[in-house]
Amino acid sequence: MKKKLLGDDRRAQLLHILKTSGKPVTGAELARIANVSRQVIVGDITLLKAKHEPIVATAQGYMYFHTSSTQQNSERIVACLHGPKRAEEELNLLVDLGITVKDVTIEHPVYGDLTASIRVSSRKEVKQFLDKIVTTNAAFLSELTDGIHLHTLIAPSEDLLDEAEEALSNAGLLVQ
């Protein structure tokens, strides 16, 4: 029987796995490695985030967000308007241009700004994200705001962000 890792040792191992993985790691996989429940992993990730570890939860799993001093990326927030049926078109249009869609934000009338991590950079990641929406029977945040939502886009240059914004506009996906 595999030994169960405890507290700080387990969190140190989780942090090491996430830092060295290079790809998202699911909570179930982390739970298997640490020989604990997925709920324990959720609590551990919450504690690591509280210690300012840059861990993000994506549809594909947990990722450690490495910052690189050699690569300066540009970020831009764009306001989009469309229904759920056009989400795949929107995300694929962006990742096909080399854009990473960092998150989605809506303005909720009670809770204020609600932001959720998306972190998709390829068609494969878009498909995984959308499959997770379907399999969990979740709603898109934008459904709470009649399709109005913001995305934070990340790209290697401002020119690429300009191109992405123009492509979204041409597709009728931007708030005009």
Structure tokens belonging to residue 35: 């020989």
Containing structural domain, residue 151: 74-170
39 assigned to some structural domain: yes
> What was the pLDDT predicted at 1?
45
Q: Is residue 2 part of a domain?
A: no
136: Cβ contacts below 8 Å, ≥ 6 apart: none
How many angstroms separate the CA atoms of 114 and 116, rounded?
A: 7
Q: What is the pLDDT of residues 25-49, one digit of tens each?
A: 999 999 999 999 999 998 898 889 8
- Give the pLDDT score at 109: 85
More confident site: 170 or 50: 170
pTM: 0.70
80 within some domain: yes
Residues 102 and 162 in one domain: yes
Report which secondary-structure segment, H or E, holds 112. strand 112-120
Alpha-carbon distance of 168 to 36, in angstroms, equals 44
Residues 151 and 92 in one domain: yes
Torsions phi, psi for 109 (to 5 deg):
-65, -25
Q: Which of 17, 35, 64 is the last residue of a domain?
A: 64
Return the CATH number at 55. Answer: 1.10.10.10
Please identify, among 64, 87, 108, the residue that sits at the C-terminal boundary of a domain: 64
